[in-house]
Amino acid sequence: MALKNASNLSLSMTPQLQQAIRLLQLSTLEVRAEITHMLERNPLLEEVGDNSFGVQSLDALIEAQNAADNVYDPFDNDHSVANADISLANDVICSADGRLAHDKLSAIDATGSTLSAVDKSAPFDEYHATQVRRVKDLNLENDNVYTGASSESLQAHLTWQLNCSPLSGADRAIAEAIIDGIADNGYLNESLDDILHFVKERYPDVTYDDVLTVLKIIEHYDPLGVGSRSVQEYLLIQLNELPNNTPHLPLARRILTDYLPQLTHRDFRTLCQRLTIKEATLKEVLKLITSLNQRPGQGVLKDKSDFIIPDVLMVKNEAHEYQVILNPHNQLPRLRLNQRYLALAQQVQNERDKAYLQNSKQEANYFIKALENRAMTILTVAQCIMRKQQAFLTDGESAMQPLILSDIASELSLHESTVSRATTGKYIQTPRGTYELKFFFSSHVSTEDGGTASATAIRAHIKELIAKENPRKPLSDAAIADKLQAQGFNVARRTIAKYRESLNIAASSQRKRLI
């Protein structure tokens, strides 16, 4: 087996990073909805140019927010752990086998890399304004329709990442079997023993440890924790991604590892006794646990849409060279802090109100920065992809180069899952049409001279050969393999069959025409 040890990741999950990661995985329409929601809930945040509402008094502002505040706190109005009437355990885990009861856990995403904005000599707004001026007369009519399917199953999303990974042979067979056994909620429904038995039919030397190693790799695909066998395992995976200095992290791990029955049955007195902690500390530990996501497959399935407005564009600059820019016709509302409310906030004397306004200011700043990071990350990733796929612009799919997630991730110093989020559901308009960014990733096949060619290029060659074949004597898969061999591509007949089927092209016997 080529893989024996799964890599250990250590990330700094600041609130700003959590916000950036969550926004990055959303489509533009979903981010617009998120902005609307944030504008409604945070009075210190406003849209630039939006003067549709007047300034309220600070007292009215705080009173309105308190009335709308529905934050869930399992220890509200509780002064005794012994007599606690708390439904937290049922909100987290309804039984020790790891099934969830309710949707009380707030979702965060604990993987990815720091989404650093690209260094520009000018601020982001100025940089973006420059790009807008360059394409202010650009006509996108009839060019922004993506006719392909834009919905994607969790299995398809995972398979795409697998195709962009170096796994091969028995490792790949194990990964495919694991992905097949993952339900839409993100949990693995098949036992590892069954997966081992299935893979052993093709690779007799595979061991249980091999299966477990590949599972650990898939659990760090996007979304983080996919393939977990229980809620307990999924929550622990998320905890293990947090920095070691996260408050109460060791206690949270210990509760989930050693005291899951007590947590399930809301036995908070026993938890405090066995952990030798006070109830105030337990409250903070439970807040950490309830901040974790509860379903690894959550947010992956997207609705179908036949109309796609690209996130980025390829346009010619003054030197008649193509460059990648953000689509000025698809930009999100610009946000800023409400300076009038900030001034009023300086007059607050009540400590609770002061804390609320300070938190609102911090949340607004995080949100604005996260939106900027999202835009710049998508732009930077798109620019890097198109630099590597320049031949596609002139010669089409047959000139596509092999490209996997790690190629972009290593060049930009990002985590692979960050690249995955920045390319899934994000579209680029090119001179050859509009494509999802992840279209440009492709696994490789070997060539006669010792080099590699992308699977996308091989598919394009197959399509071209079949288009030119004699319909009375269509090419068999073996004949196509021979012709590709003559062009320097070493592709097995069964691989030709797989690529042909992925193109929805029938076998030679079904393509034959008598007249």
Q: Which residues contact 279 (CB under 8 A, 6 or more apart)?
A: 75, 81, 268, 272
DSSP label of 329: G
Whether the pLDDT of residue 51 is over 60: the answer is no
Burial class (CB in 10 A: 0-12, 13-18, 19+), 30: middle
- % of the chain at pLDDT higher than 90: 23
DSSP label of 473: B
Whether the pLDDT of residue 152 is over 50: the answer is yes
Residues 317-363 pLDDT 10s: 888 888 999 998 877 888 989 888 888 878 877 888 888 888 888 88
Residues 227-285 pLDDT 10s: 999 999 999 999 998 888 889 999 999 999 999 888 888 889 999 999 999 999 999 99
Whether the pLDDT of residue 433 is over 50: the answer is yes
Look up the pTM and report it: 0.52
- Helix 249-258, helix 279-290: angle, nearest 10: 80
Of residues 454 and 51, the one with the higher pLDDT is 454
How much is the pLDDT for 143?
A: 40
Residues 394-405 pLDDT 10s: 888 877 888 888
Q: Show the CA angle centred on residue 461, arms to residues 425 and 311, nearest 5°.
A: 20
Give the pair of three-digit tokens for residue 207.
């061991």
pLDDT tier at 392, thresholds 50, 70, 90:
confident
Q: Which long-range contacts (CB under 8 A, 24 or more apart) does 406-411 make?
A: 406/164, 406/165, 406/166, 408/381, 408/384, 409/113, 411/384
- What are the angstrom distances between the C-alpha of 253 and each of 259, 267, 292, 300, 354? 10, 17, 12, 27, 34
Return left, alpha or beta for 299; rule: phi > 0 is left, psi -120 to 50 is alpha, else beta. Answer: left
Name the residue type at position 381.
V
DSSP assignment of 441-457 equals -B-EEEBTTS-EEEHHH
Tally of helices (H runs) and strands (E runs) in the chain: 23, 8
Task: Please give the domain boundaries of the chain with CATH numbers for all domains.
Answer: 11-75+122-151+302-442 (no CATH), 152-216 (no CATH), 443-515 (1.10.10.60)
The H or E element spanning position 47 is strand 45-47
3-state secondary structure at position 340: helix
Tell me the C-alpha distance between 356 and 74, whole Å. Answer: 20
Closest CA to 100 of 253, 294, 299: 294
DSSP label of 88: H
